[in-house]
Amino acid sequence: MNWYQVGRKMTTCLVSSSSPTGSNRRIELAGIALWTIAHVDKIFVYPTELNIDRFKESLGRTLSIWPIMAGHFLVRDDDRYAIEMSDNTIPV
């Protein structure tokens, strides 16, 4: 059992954009956009209590600004790529 599992109950919820973003808009991707050049080497985790309500509110505002985060990656019939934006909820 890990330190973060001791005495904690896991909960899940769905977070949606705090304002509609205009579903079904698409961003066409060039082949070079699919290259995985950039990556994160390290992630720092600080053991602390998470304010779930504040996190959900912040994520909802973020989705309003960057609706691409709730989008779907599409491969079209002509082997072209796109991201279709949506107002779908994100499970957290």
Q: Which residues of 41-72 are buried (b: 16+ CB within 10 A; e: fewer)?
A: eeeeeeeeeeeeeeebeebbebbeeebeebbe
Asked if residue 4 has pLDDT above 60, the reply is no
Asked if residues 71 and 22 have their Cβ atoms less than 8 Å apart, the reply is no
% of the chain beyond a pLDDT of 90 = 1
Q: What are phi and psi of 32, to 5 degrees?
A: -65, -25
pTM of the model: 0.59
Quickly count helices (H) and strands (E) in the chain.
1, 5
